[in-house]
Structure 1
Amino acid sequence: MIKSPLQIARESYVPKMPSSLKGGIKIVEGKATESVADQADIEKMFPNTYGMPVLTFEPGDAKEYAAQNVGVILSGGQAPGGHNVISGLYDGLKKLNPENKLYGFLGGPGGLVDNQYIELTEDIVNHYRNTGGFDIIGSGRTKLEETEQYEKALVNCKELGITALVIIGGDDSNTNACVLAEYYKEKQAGVQVIGVPKTIDGDLKNEMIETSFGFDTACKVYSELIGNIQRDANSAKKYWHFIKLMGRSASHIALECALQTQPNITIISEEVEAKQQTLDDVVSYIANIVAKRAENGDNFGTVLIPEGLVEFIPAMKKLIAELNDFLAHNEEAVNALEGNKEKREFVAERISDESREVFVSLPNSIANQLMLDRDPHGNVQVSLIETEKMLIDMVKAKLKSMKKAGEFKGKFKGQPHFFGYEGRCAAPSNFDADYCYSLGNTASMLIGEGKTGYMASVRNLTAPSSEWMAGGVPVTMMMNMEKRHGEMKPVIQKALVQLNGAPFKKLVENREEWALNTNYMYPGPIQYFGPSEVCDLTTNTLKYEQQ
């Protein structure tokens, strides 16, 4: 394997860990738990894994653990730190019993079903420590939701002698892990299932999961890019940069990047929905700030836009929900039509009057994008909707009418950007390297202690790493019922930006000053070497939430 000088240097980095994971442990059980909503429905569907207590590890006496074979799966989109989860899992298993073996299923959950795997040895794992990406075993988006899949996976596990599976993924992937844990426990199949919280979107979190891994690194990468663009904007002084940021449902990335870079405008989807704003409201808000800055001679600026914005505009949200439901049952009929015009007309005739009005008012390009194939979970692929370009065009049109009315006397040139893949496979920050390694070790302890249906949890993350608190949280505790593919299904509830939360309040507190003035911050690249106050920073989101 060819390695860069940075990668070679990073191989020698030893991740920091909580004190409770450095020796023997004892488990402290909390009270019985219940799901965040739909308690009766969730309990009925998960009778064997519902109501389990939260677990906290404390230093304890060393003990012997029986040897186990363990399988690990990377599921869903990449996030910085996945390799360190596997490194921590591998090291933790070997610490429990040197005879333990770790098998990596290739290409995501599909590898488990199709029995595609490799044994992860020390030589392999060592090549990937502290590196970005998921290329050690690859990832995939196959959903585990059919009995036939569970049975095939079980046969494959039995052939390899695997008694535990670790599924590293986001909310949907960990929902799959929970379903699998319930199925195997009900059958007394002898296979434990443990989840690990991964998603750069930041929407898999609660009081026990303070942040999902990869969020820290991705936001630092995006913030460096935004800072670079702002430096250019402030130098050229002639462009408005509209920057769409990854985050399918929640606006955590946009909010965190705003706190790191202080742009002129930050749209928060959850606020748009709470205020029942229309698309025109959002456009008018941006246009008015453009006009006010022009009065000061500043015909430039930056706008941060969350990827999922269109789904939070109430009328658009209703339209998309109808389209998701309609296409779930009529996708073949729509795809059989030749042209986009025919497809738009076919769909428009079969949705409600209110949604039809919104649908036909959209630019054809956006309407076409709303009809694209859904993701494996039945959701519109919002990353393919060019919201940033749509807003530039609409703001331009709004400013044109304002100029005619004498309300705008400046110039406007928009530049679109979309930052997504740029942050997903970056070399993990020191925080993510440490956090992920701790999560892997935590998963190994949960396996050694015979637990199933739990997600690895490491908390108290703004304290020194030695004071982090490791343990496990029942996945059923996070679940509710939601409509997917036209049917109600149990899923982990997404954590959206809280408008009464400290991070959003910090944005609101500074919003007007950042809008009218040029108070840009330029974070620069991630720092891996140097003083702790530079290299081990947590996100502003964590800092403000934990104050």
Structure 2
Amino acid sequence: MTESQVKKIGVLTSGGDSPGMNAAIRAVVRTAHYYQIECFGIREGYAGLMEGNCLKLGPRSVKHIINQGGTILKSARSLEFKTPEGRKRAYEQCQKLGIDALVVIGGDGTFTGAKIFCEEFGIKVIGVPGTIDNDIFGTDFTIGYDTALNTAMQAIDKIRDTATSHNRVFFVEVMGRDAGFIALNSGLATGAIDILIPEKKDSIDELFETFIRTEKTGKSSSIIVVAEGEKLASTYELAQKTKEKFPEFDIRVSILGHMQRGGAPSCADRVLASRLGYGAVIGLMEGKTNVMAGIQSNQLVFTPIEDAIKKSNEIDSELVKIAEILAI
């Protein structure tokens, strides 16, 4: 590999945290060190970049973090960075520190900010997809998704024990404001009788038909997994409507919430984060900019950030069908 023109890299995490972000930070820092590139950690995302809230990181700075959830650099959403004045302040801080490239770890909002910053000031940027929702185009999986999925699955398994013991119906809400990947896969993995996701046009009558059908097959307890972004109704409203239709049902609602964001990252997320952090530095060394590092068919690929933002991963319709068939 030819000598890199990039001399100083800044790495930041922005938006919602996800398990594996620390593993990605570690990979960026150690890969940069290996290739004799200085690396600065930027605290609290773009807000920290505007304030110059940075610290120089070396191999020992990132020891013992690969197994930690959250992000040691902290994360924050910044309204000021959305303004030209805010971005100019950030650029001035980059000049002051000599940072000529950024690795930004996050989702859509993070990438949008990076794209505009790159276009306005010419700072090289490479995105690393870190979001539990798995809704970023250009990578088969995003950092944190596998861990969140396993957290949801384990929680639903525990809820099923109670549902079975008391012949109850549980509506379990999982994260996924715009995407149903966690709901679909955790629902399939836990044997839910129905899975409600934003991508699928659900109806209350179809939900009721599912209950009638499962009653006929002798099921005395049921789990319905609902993505938080389900358009039909809120999880509590769905439970209320079901209670009105089937007053004999003992119904409970469980919102899993932010527990899905936390915890030690899974093996898959640690490996993915390590590959993407390494890939981001290599991409910068090769002169790439305004792209996102991703893994597709187990290969490192680079996707224009604009595509990563505008396009979206689609739900596997066959998986939806499998879930319906196996819920009999």
CA distance in 1 between partners of 2:160 and 2:308 (Å)? 39
Q: How far is the alpha carbon of 1:164 from its aligned partner?
A: 0.8
Give CA deviations for 1:149-181 in whole Å, capped at 9, x if unaligned: 121011111111111111111112112111111
1:303 aligns with 2:224: yes
The 8 Å contact of residues 388 and 416 in structure 1, kept in 2 or not, is answered as yes
Aligned to 1:511: 324
The 8 Å contact of residues 241 and 416 in structure 1, kept in 2 or not, is answered as yes
Q: Which runs of 5+ in 2 are unaligned?
A: none
Moved over 6 A (4+): none
Q: How far is the alpha carbon of 1:496 from its aligned partner?
A: 4.2
CA distance in 1 between partners of 2:152 and 2:186 (Å)? 7
1:251 aligns with 2:180: yes
1:95 aligns with 2:34: yes
- Counterpart amino acid of 2:9? V
The change in CA–CA distance for 1:455 and 1:255 in structure 2 (over 3 A counts) is same
CA distance in 2 between partners of 1:231 and 1:200 (Å)? 26
Aligned to 2:141: 211
Q: How far is the alpha carbon of 1:505 from its aligned partner?
A: 1.7
| Bigger Rg over Cα | 1
1:288 aligns with 2:209: yes
Aligned to 2:236: 389
- Counterpart amino acid of 2:311? Q
CA distance in 2 between partners of 1:288 and 1:247 (Å)? 25
Q: Which runs of 5+ in 1 are unaligned?
A: 1-61, 186-190, 317-386, 401-410, 462-468, 480-491, 517-547
Q: How far is the alpha carbon of 1:296 from its aligned partner?
A: 5.1
Q: How far is the alpha carbon of 1:452 from its aligned partner?
A: 1.5
Q: How far is the alpha carbon of 1:513 from its aligned partner?
A: 4.5
CA distance in 1 between partners of 2:323 and 2:34 (Å)? 49
CA distance in 2 between partners of 1:509 and 1:71 (Å)? 44
Residue number among 178, 190, 193 corresponding to 1:261 in the alignment: 190
CA distance in 2 between partners of 1:458 and 1:203 (Å)? 14
SS in 2 for 1:414: strand
Aligned to 1:352: none
SS in 1 for 2:246: helix
> How many residue pairs align between the two structures?
327
Aligned-pair identity (%):
27
* Alignment of structure 1 residues 336-355 onto 2, 5 Å: none
Aligned to 1:460: 297
The 8 Å contact of residues 292 and 308 in structure 2, kept in 1 or not, is answered as no
CA distance in 2 between partners of 1:142 and 1:460 (Å)? 34
Give CA deviations for 1:171-194 in whole Å, capped at 9, x if unaligned: 121121111111122xxxxx2111
CA distance in 2 between partners of 1:474 and 1:178 (Å)? 9
The 8 Å contact of residues 70 and 166 in structure 1, kept in 2 or not, is answered as yes
SS in 1 for 2:12: strand
- Counterpart amino acid of 1:109? Y
1:82 aligns with 2:17: no
The 8 Å contact of residues 252 and 496 in structure 1, kept in 2 or not, is answered as no
Q: How far is the alpha carbon of 1:130 from its aligned partner?
A: 2.8
CA distance in 1 between partners of 2:270 and 2:6 (Å)? 27
CA distance in 1 between partners of 2:130 and 2:57 (Å)? 21
Residue number among 161, 164, 168 corresponding to 2:101 in the alignment: 164
* Alignment of structure 1 residues 440-519 onto 2, 5 Å: 440-461=277-298, 469-479=299-309, 492-497=310-315, 501=316, 504-514=317-327, 516=328
CA distance in 1 between partners of 2:115 and 2:285 (Å)? 18
1:197 aligns with 2:129: yes
The change in CA–CA distance for 1:162 and 1:509 in structure 2 (over 3 A counts) is closer
Aligned to 2:65: 128
The change in CA–CA distance for 1:505 and 1:237 in structure 2 (over 3 A counts) is farther
Give CA deviations for 1:351-399 in whole Å, capped at 9, x if unaligned: xxxxxxxxxxxxxxxxxxxxxxxxxxxxxxxxxxxx2221111111122
The change in CA–CA distance for 1:473 and 1:510 in structure 2 (over 3 A counts) is closer
Give CA deviations for 1:2-29 in whole Å, capped at 9, x if unaligned: xxxxxxxxxxxxxxxxxxxxxxxxxxxx
- Counterpart amino acid of 1:495? N
Q: How far is the alpha carbon of 1:441 from its aligned partner?
A: 0.5
The 8 Å contact of residues 13 and 75 in structure 2, kept in 1 or not, is answered as yes
Give CA deviations for 1:490-516 in whole Å, capped at 9, x if unaligned: xx334342xxx3xx32332341541x4
CA distance in 2 between partners of 1:110 and 1:164 (Å)? 17
- Counterpart amino acid of 2:146? D
CA distance in 2 between partners of 1:95 and 1:63 (Å)? 14
CA distance in 2 between partners of 1:170 and 1:510 (Å)? 28
- Counterpart amino acid of 2:13? L
The 8 Å contact of residues 214 and 424 in structure 1, kept in 2 or not, is answered as yes
* Alignment of structure 1 residues 29-428 onto 2, 5 Å: 62-65=1-4, 68-97=7-36, 100-134=37-71, 136-143=72-79, 144-185=81-122, 191-205=123-137, 208-234=138-164, 236-272=165-201, 281-282=203-204, 284-295=205-216, 298-310=219-231, 313=232, 387-400=234-247, 411-428=248-265
Q: How far is the alpha carbon of 1:223 from its aligned partner?
A: 0.6
The change in CA–CA distance for 1:90 and 1:301 in structure 2 (over 3 A counts) is same
- TM-score normalised by length of structure 1: 0.57
Give CA deviations for 1:462-499 in whole Å, capped at 9, x if unaligned: xxxxxxx22422212345xxxxxxxxxxxx334342xx
The change in CA–CA distance for 1:124 and 1:454 in structure 2 (over 3 A counts) is same
Aligned to 1:434: 271
The change in CA–CA distance for 1:184 and 1:244 in structure 2 (over 3 A counts) is same
The 8 Å contact of residues 33 and 58 in structure 2, kept in 1 or not, is answered as no
Give CA deviations for 1:49-103 in whole Å, capped at 9, x if unaligned: xxxxxxxxxxxxx443356121111011111110111111011111111xx2221
The 8 Å contact of residues 171 and 494 in structure 1, kept in 2 or not, is answered as no
- Counterpart amino acid of 2:177? R
SS in 2 for 1:269: coil
CA distance in 2 between partners of 1:78 and 1:508 (Å)? 32
SS in 1 for 2:161: helix
- TM-score normalised by length of structure 2: 0.93
Q: How far is the alpha carbon of 1:196 from its aligned partner?
A: 0.9
- Counterpart amino acid of 1:90? V
CA distance in 2 between partners of 1:217 and 1:142 (Å)? 26
